A and B are shown apart, each in its own frame.
Chain A
């Protein structure tokens, strides 16, 4: 078997007395799409944010391509430079897009190439244009985020991440802040990315996307990783009563 892109072992995270992640184990296979699903507050976003150490985990290990992230050794924080080095190859897409409003779409994408990869401005700008064309926004490059729809903003955010040529992409509820009619354009960009063999971890409430695009689905509840398996076995033949009850609620809410 191929080595995992992300190997999570016995990870625990506390917010004061609140136990947010409980002994979580999960391996993310390379070149595949893994969806994290579960009720709100189950810890899936927290787990995702631990994978690039935006959120610090308190114990356990998270290895990206075999390398421990956030710590040099258990309990000893990694130097800022080393952490930044690791983050360069991990793209992240946020629920709220988090584009920089004072920059155009193109400047948003070029910023990391200039400041982090050290590319000359002209090269960065050309690469930014390529990345934006890839997400279907070649004609919106000079727009500021305030002049883009939510779906367009999220596609710019994806372009910003992929322009850095990451080995791993993390998506934190990428469509949850979008009007329903704009969800499709973002999901289709993600599908394209998946078909190119990008390793993706997606926290989502889009069960359709999980069912059709994911290679693996992991279900979390109350900080525990309940099960991780094929989409079919999690979404269509769930064994665990917690998954069954979650899906029942989901279907009830989405039926009319």
Chain B
């Protein structure tokens, strides 16, 4: 118990960083993913090819490698970032192609007729995206968005490699100083389990609210 007393505050602070990195990273990655999906949907064909290459490269390489390149390779091209901003940027880039693909699938699931109805009354495309395309694509995209957000919680541990003081970083320090590997990693597991449980509960509630009116009467 002494050990918890000693490391408790650091672990809690680490968990705070974990939640912060996850929340901001997810929001930024989702926003970038949405932008990518929209550019591919509405942009010219050459842009689509560039986006396709971006998606393949990011999805095809490990997050750890991307983070190393960004944090240690960045300064070579003048991109000098502190650990936390580098970690957030890394998460944003890493998550964006997955989110982009989820949005793309969501867009495709929206019946063309409902978009035509909006065009036929003279709605402009940005309004159609905001009012029709996005809300309706959520029916099919939301479960996948929540799912990938949950996956991202566990990717945050990799930020410890570039010394972001999140939970994994603190747990590693505690293990190294006390040799209590089992206890330390048990704490880590419990914290993550709690976080994921909370997110999926919130997600389910959000999902049922968004799709409430979309279920056909049977």
Contact = CB atoms under 8 A, between A and B. Distances in A.
Partners in one complex: yes
Interface of A: 52, 54, 80-81, 84-88, 90-92, 94, 96, 98-102, 111-112, 115-116, 144, 146-147, 157, 160-161, 164
Contacts of A91: 120-121
A101 B213 contact: yes
Interface residues of B, number: 23
B120 A92 contact: yes
Nearest to B127: A115
Contacts of B116: 54, 94, 98
A98 B111 contact: yes
Contacts of B215: 146
B117 A100 contact: yes
27 contacts: A54-B116, A80-B124, A84-B122, A84-B124, A85-B122, A86-B122, A87-B121, A87-B122, A88-B122, A92-B120, A98-B111, A98-B113, A98-B114, A98-B117, A99-B117, A100-B131, A100-B132, A101-B136, A111-B131, A112-B121, A112-B122, A115-B123, A115-B131, A116-B121, A144-B213, A147-B217, A161-B121
A90 B121 CA distance: 7
B45 interface: no
B187 to A, nearest CB: 43
A112 B118 CA distance: 8
Given A91-B121, A94-B117, 17 more contacts: A54-B116, A80-B124, A80-B125, A87-B119, A88-B122, A90-B120, A91-B120, A99-B117, A100-B114, A100-B118, A101-B213, A101-B214, A112-B121, A112-B122, A116-B121, A146-B216, A160-B117
B135 interface: yes
Residue from B111, B117, B123, B216 having most chain A Cβ neighbours under 10 A: B117
A88 B122 CA distance: 5
A80 B122 CA distance: 10
Nearest to A113: B121
Contacts of A102: 135-136, 213-214
Contacts of A99: 114, 117
A254 to B, nearest CB: 28
Interface in B34-54: none
Contacts of A112: 121-123
A38 B214 CA distance: 35
Contacts of B113: 94, 96, 98
Contacts of A87: 119-122
Nearest to A52: B120
A102 B110 CA distance: 12
A164 B213 CA distance: 25
A161 B118 CA distance: 11
Contacts of B117: 92, 94, 98-100, 157, 160
Nearest to A144: B213
